A and B are shown apart, each in its own frame.
Chain A
């Protein structure tokens, strides 16, 4: 047992943890009872929980669902502390209401982490109010009222009653000032696999997604974007398009007025929108082809950024960028001095005196998110109010923007969150809501804005293009004495300076540089980590080979050093937990077993979003191509809420990682994306996915941390390391697949 786990356990050993509310007090039960939105016989106990007299329990899920299972796993947390019978629970997506339901954003692998405590409190508080109601009704002391699966008991008198019969009384009981939370060992719902609460709707084709939303009188809108980053609209002739059947309107619309202070998630590809509106999707698609638009270079433009409390002007360069020129520019920048991000010891001297220096450079292209459901949003905006319905990760980040642009108070803006057909970070950028809202206001009708696949892929908010050079200095005994990483990107660098192997090497230097660009970028499943892990974990593999060590042993030795005698400050990771996943994957994969020698095996591990993930990838040759046949994964994300769904997500992250490592990449020619749809942007398919991904979670009772992102980054490194074993060649450029045929997109 690690020290942290031990401390945690002893804190709980007294029989549950008393907590006092900070957030739940925002909710007053009296106010809830008068909530006219509440249908007939539902009794609201608190913002998350409603109960019918017949004992059905409705739990509102606060956070948008994009496949990470929060619609099921977050309500499970409430049900656990409420001691509800899961069979009687129905789940509904909550409204956007940050007072009652908290921050409501899906991203940063944060859903479970940030809601763990509040949802437990919400469940525990409701349970206590129900116990109180029963105690008063039965005239017995509160301490003697117990619960089991939705039923209240008074053992001494033999009285019992279902939650439903006490709900009405409980709703009038004052919110308790503090409640006792369960001990992890007593969990019944948390940690036991529950089926996706929307599973049935998914397999029967029920309307679930934003694109499925319809309203009578609704129009369809699409945006004709410039053909390339760096271009803008010069003029257009819509006469032919307007004569096409079903077309009601063609117009230009500015998204942000000049000087509008953009927040961190207001990123958009283009500001001047050429909009086509019509009755049906197909008609609008056809009319777009008849538009005659002239485009011209935009030149350098200016954006006003308002985020983090300080207003600043940013120049967006007007150049029409091409991938080969970008690569050359990256090489130039890599040779220049860069910003120092962390330095321990005296790396310069250590490198000068080294017996051997290993230096390798890794490159990776832009990646498009390619959510299976393209960007879209429904909007109905009038002078008085706005209704918006669709897929997005963070309603709270877009609402202030909408309020400003529509000049409406936030309480007149209703955002409803649908299930998302994927997100991967892309839907944290809500520009498409604002676009839909402006279009609806202009045409004075309910409108659904739809991006085609081509729009979605070529006007993205991409994973940046990255490069990093890693250097290691070995002394004459082949001991690692210094480590240097210098990373850059368009338009941001990837470096996490305080992550492993920082803390494990006496002389350490991390540096970063960046090149501005007009190609828009944003969060993509494990931002920056998804490149770092690929590069660093490949480099460590090569380093282990040069040092004559087993790659897992080398990592464990470095982690031992980082634990016993850490170098520097601010090391972000827990060396014990990091070593823990490596040991677990070593054991479960039979790393040293002779029978596995038939595989080309690669290993990698990484820490991000407060969690730890390691993979062993087993590669074979299939139809003359290297193929990942099976994968062993070890994950430490603390307590796992819904194990089967968590396993599914890790398996998905492994498949996603293999796919992007082999095939993922977006390139540009004169500002235009060269990949436009799935015929030339290759996505991993069934026959390329492994036959088996065996997922093992470290069992501990540490509060849960992220899982959507952490398993993704180390896949790239593990694949690269297996490829080396398989074909005898190191791979430094992503994606790997073209290089198997001696070509490269970079």
Chain B
């Protein structure tokens, strides 16, 4: 039995401790916002926050998350009002949308650590997240916009 805290809620799951957190979230807990894209830490579709840091849940064993604080896209903000989410909606970033939960979770960590990222900072922080639809220009723009919203304290 593994005890998890996800989006501030306690969970208990009976799974092999080697199971990647990704599949525990998706299959056991029905939290399907975290996506499977490659399973080998190459695409970033599965990014969640583990104690505030961006991790790839497809290569993070669930045992590593036991007793730690996990945040998924579903729990990023109570009312979908995280500046990153707001900026994403404002600029209508998504095309198919499949990669975007991972992009948003990666961007949220970037903005927590760097209040005013440059293009080069964004390049470095987001290089691990593939968007097959090619929405990179808007992701970049949305991160700048979210940074601005955050600076103005309008994270609602």
- Considering only residues 165-207 of chain A, those with a C-beta below 8 Å from chain B are 195-196, 198-200, 202-207
Which chain B residues border A659 with CB–CB below 8 Å? 134
For the residues of A in contact with B, the DSSP-based class is loop
Which chain B residues border A677 with CB–CB below 8 Å? 38-40, 42
Which chain A residues border B2 with CB–CB below 8 Å? none
Q: Interface residue tally of chain B, by bracket? A: 35 or more
Q: Are A211 and B96 in contact (CB under 8 A)?
A: no
Which chain B residues border A655 with CB–CB below 8 Å? 134-137
Q: Are B97 and A202 in contact (CB under 8 A)?
A: yes
A621 to chain B: closest CB distance in Å? 16
Judged by a CB distance under 8 angstroms, whether A281 is at the interface is yes
Judged by a CB distance under 8 angstroms, whether B95 is at the interface is yes
B3-35 Cβ-contact flags toward A at 8 Å (1 or 0)? 000000000000110011001001110111111
> With the chains together, A220 CA to B28 CA distance in Å?
12
> With the chains together, A67 CA to B36 CA distance in Å?
18
Judged by a CB distance under 8 angstroms, whether A690 is at the interface is yes
Which chain B residues border A693 with CB–CB below 8 Å? 137
Judged by a CB distance under 8 angstroms, whether A685 is at the interface is yes
Q: Are B129 and A645 in contact (CB under 8 A)?
A: no
B111 to chain A: closest CB distance in Å? 15
Indicate which residue in B26, B33, B43 contacts A281 across the interface (CB closer than 8 Å): B26
For the residues of B in contact with A, the DSSP-based class is loop
Indicate which residue in B27, B89, B132, B137 contacts A370 across the interface (CB closer than 8 Å): B132
Q: Are A422 and B96 in contact (CB under 8 A)?
A: yes
Which chain B residues border A419 with CB–CB below 8 Å? 96-97
Q: Are A195 and B32 in contact (CB under 8 A)?
A: no
Q: Which residue of A lies closest to B80 (CB)?
A: A204
> With the chains together, A214 CA to B31 CA distance in Å?
11
Indicate which residue in B92, B122, B135 contacts A199 across the interface (CB closer than 8 Å): B92
Which chain B residues border A691 with CB–CB below 8 Å? 119, 137, 140
Judged by a CB distance under 8 angstroms, whether A542 is at the interface is no
Inter-chain contact total with CB atoms closer than 8 Å: 183
Q: Which residue of B lies closest to A685 (CB)?
A: B127
> With the chains together, A353 CA to B92 CA distance in Å?
57
Given contacts A648-B92, A652-B133, contact A205 B73 (CB under 8 A): yes
- Considering only residues 69-89 of chain B, those with a C-beta below 8 Å from chain A are 72-74, 76, 80, 85, 88-89
Which chain A residues border B16 with CB–CB below 8 Å? 245, 282
Q: Are A652 and B73 in contact (CB under 8 A)?
A: no
Most buried by B among A65, A652, A686: A686
A173 to chain B: closest CB distance in Å? 37
Q: Are B134 and A372 in contact (CB under 8 A)?
A: no
Judged by a CB distance under 8 angstroms, whether A114 is at the interface is no
Judged by a CB distance under 8 angstroms, whether A280 is at the interface is yes
Indicate which residue in A195, A200, A281, A370 contacts B23 across the interface (CB closer than 8 Å): A281
* 8 extra interface residue pairs, beta carbon distance < 8 Å, beyond A203-B94, A205-B33, A686-B140: A69-B95, A195-B92, A202-B101, A422-B96, A656-B132, A684-B134, A684-B136, A687-B123
